[in-house]
Structure 1
Amino acid sequence: MTEVFAPARLGPITLRNRVIKAATFEGRTPQALATDALIDFHREVAAGGVGMTTVAYCAVAPGGRTHREEIWMRPEAVPGLRRLTDAVHAEGAAASAQIGHAGPVANASSNRAPALAPSRMFSPLAMRPMKVPSESVIRELVAAHANAALLAEQAGFDAIEIHFGHNYLASSFLSPMLNRRTDRYGGSAENRARFAREIAEAVRAAVGDRLAITAKLSMEDGVRGGLTVPESLQVARWLESDGALDALELTAGSSLLNPMLLFHGDAPRDSFAKVLPIPARWGFKLVGRSFLKDYPYREAFLLERARQFRRELSMPLILLGGITNMDTMRRAMAEGFEFVAMGRALLREPNLLRRIQSDASTRSACVHCNECMPTIYTGTRCPFRIAEPDGEGLERI
């Protein structure tokens, strides 16, 4: 317990403990800017005891959002994000900004900008072909990541998390199924990893050692022909040797093709169908079972894959997936993981860490129903969360 809740170094910064609030899109930025609701969301988690909370998702370009109601990094976004980081710091926690480009996961119709993919693909969200970036556009996107990191620094963030997972743009370049390019960004694993490595190096060059830099890396896509664990492990070795990152957060799955590999637990197919617009709803009813697959929940469900990375790498690693209690956190530390990341459990109970710190036998109230997933369209939340307003009575939020 002392190790989990002891201060820990992450690159140039020190966190008050080894627990990080994972990036989960908050659904509280209707004008693509920070709002009071977004600030309150992260203030509450910070007050609940995490060492660092991660703001998701800060796109590096307007076309890099999964939906137009996500933040994209520009000078107008800085003042609101500064209020957010000030609020988090006042609660004793650090703040990280997740930056990236959604690529084939972007909603071109919503963004009114083309979605990007490494090779020719059809967008089921926009019902039109995606745009394949040239090498000159790729260079612009690398520079956009560096600029987003500088804006995050101006906004008072302590850390940057670069999104290399879930078949967002950099992750889609890693996938041999999605990346069929024949130039220096396609073909061999080294070529497919070039984009991600250039992004990490550009971000490090931009912010130096003033901010911690982590990356969320998919260990596998979970689809036939996609990125596999051995290939991802090679990418991780290259990222480690480049020296631009302070830690890797290990994830899995594809937002485009297999999202439940990240979540595990119940697949909320009916709830998702209800919140989709009519054309998409009809399509989802046809493919919902193959898209939202069944993966039974268990604690630390990504640990078996992550162990392979821990054996091969010396850099700090962040274990994600089914981290809900002290036993699991201790297990992660015992196996050599420097940090753990929590998501859904903190949606249910933002103060869970305080409760665990007071009583190590505390168990999360999250039942892994994943009914929080469809709420991203209306403000991400646990629909079964119980709050205690002013210490009197209980209410359902």
Structure 2
Amino acid sequence: MPDTIAHDSSAACFSAAKLNSLTLKNRFIKAGTFENMTSNGVPSDALNRFHGELADGGIAMTTLGYCAVENDGRLNENMMYMHEGIRPPLSVLIADLHQRGTMVSGQMGYCGGFSKNRHLSRRRPLGPSFGLNGLGIAQGMLFCDAMSVRDINAMVASYSRAATFMKSVGFDALEIHFGHGYGLCQFMSPKTNKRKDEYGGSLENRMRLPLRVLAAVREAVGDDFPLLGKISMTEGVRGGLHYDDAVEISKLLDKAGIDGIITSGGTSSMNPMIMFRGGNILPAMLKTEPSLVMRLILRLAGKAMFKDYPYKELYFLEQAKRIREAVNCKMIYVGGASSRASFDQLMAAGFDFIQLGRSLLSDPDLPNRAQADVNFVSRCTHCNECVATIESPEGIHCTQF
């Protein structure tokens, strides 16, 4: 098990621990999500308040979700991409969180062939292979094109530039998004990667680009800067990544120098409900989707895409344990941890940190409350209505409390 700072085992989740050279005051990390509080790609006062409330609630590190590495890496034009034009507001946000005693991670993203960004520099988004761009149908972007090797090299360079910028602006850690069906995951998955060159075929070949990205980011930020990687342990679709693949992927990332692996699951473009156990998100999405075309598509294909997965605590635990046993890097658990009993169980199972998403929307002061109450249980009902509020003008929020 990786080294940690000495602590009382009965309350390990509230003890300090190191992530490379960074010390976090407890084991709770806000998971990266798109809050829809960055209109035209610029961090807003609402985003500051959102993360500030989490900081005041005791979170050790919050994650600014979906920091696209370039303009064409955004799913939509309201997502941030890393460039000098947003340095002033981003610096203010990060400095304020530091003053509140919270570290800040930036989730590095690239959409690949799954985009509705109307500000693309090209006619179609780029993925590993030619295919359907389901997210872009309402914008008239029905397909994605296959990346050339030149495009791949440019993408790696974008990650390097973004990492340099993010470190300079004050981020304490970076999280490379290797999961959820986005750009790097599209290369990793045999479902979306149909290439016949050195970037397709075997798992070793499909991991070539993700490992190049990791190496480029590491070179940009240095050996002592914390790098995390979020993976999908399974995509939950036939022909996609599965749990056995996740073990091998994690070994490769560990060998390549990742500091921590976040064990998520599912794919936003094919089976998102594997990561959102509980209430089906389809009804809420039908209510909030602004596009008539997309609402029609959701009505026709929604039941096949949004399957029912009943909620249970720690629903990824057994599969995440397999990875815990296979790697030496830090392990960050995400998936159905919403009670003090679950937090303690994860610490006892050898996980180093816990990422939280939905439960922080209902309980932004969760770490403080859980520390004060050994019987703490989050108010989150796992209704998943919050997932659809990313299209809301007020941004993502809990609809129940």
TM-score range, shorter chain: over 0.9
Correspondences of 1:1-397 after superposition (within 5 Å): 1-109=10-118, 111=120, 113=122, 114-127=124-137, 128-243=142-257, 245-276=258-289, 277-378=291-392, 379-385=395-401
Deviations 1:138-191 (A, max 9, x none): 111111111111111122110000000011010010111110101110011100
Looking at structure 1, the residues matched to 108 and 325 of structure 2 have their Cα atoms a distance apart, in angstroms, of 28
Looking at structure 2, the residues matched to 120 and 108 of structure 1 have their Cα atoms a distance apart, in angstroms, of 18
Deviations 1:316-362 (A, max 9, x none): 11000111111111111111111111100001110111111111211
Residue 103 of structure 1: SS of its match in structure 2? coil
| Amino acid in structure 1 at the alignment position of 2:203 | A
Q: Tell whether the 8 Å contact from 1:109 to 1:126 is kept in structure 2 after alignment.
A: no
TM-score (norm 2): 0.93
Q: Tell whether the 8 Å contact from 1:78 to 1:152 is kept in structure 2 after alignment.
A: no
Identity percentage of aligned residues = 38
Deviations 1:193-216 (A, max 9, x none): 011111111100000035211010
Looking at structure 1, the residues matched to 170 and 47 of structure 2 have their Cα atoms a distance apart, in angstroms, of 16
Looking at structure 2, the residues matched to 41 and 332 of structure 1 have their Cα atoms a distance apart, in angstroms, of 27
> What is the match of residue 4 of structure 2?
none
Deviations 1:55-92 (A, max 9, x none): 01100111111111000110112221111111111111
The RMSD of aligned alpha carbons is: 1.2
Deviations 1:1-23 (A, max 9, x none): 53111110001100000110111
Q: Tell whether the 8 Å contact from 2:134 to 2:269 is kept in structure 1 after alignment.
A: no
| Amino acid in structure 2 at the alignment position of 1:256 | S
Deviations 1:207-266 (A, max 9, x none): 0035211010111111000011112211111111112x1101011000000001011000
Mark the runs of 5 or more structure 2 residues left unpaired by the alignment.
1-9
TM-score (norm 1): 0.94
Deviation at 1:124, TM superposition (A): 2.3
Residue 105 of structure 1: SS of its match in structure 2? coil
Looking at structure 1, the residues matched to 157 and 86 of structure 2 have their Cα atoms a distance apart, in angstroms, of 18
Looking at structure 2, the residues matched to 289 and 112 of structure 1 have their Cα atoms a distance apart, in angstroms, of 34
Residue 355 of structure 2: SS of its match in structure 1? strand
Deviation at 1:111, TM superposition (A): 4.5
| Amino acid in structure 2 at the alignment position of 1:118 | P
Looking at structure 1, the residues matched to 119 and 281 of structure 2 have their Cα atoms a distance apart, in angstroms, of 24
Q: Tell whether the 8 Å contact from 2:11 to 2:344 is kept in structure 1 after alignment.
A: no
Task: Count how many residue pairs are aligned between Structure 1 and Structure 2.
Answer: 384
Deviation at 1:104, TM superposition (A): 2.5
Looking at structure 2, the residues matched to 108 and 88 of structure 1 have their Cα atoms a distance apart, in angstroms, of 29
Residue 354 of structure 2: SS of its match in structure 1? strand
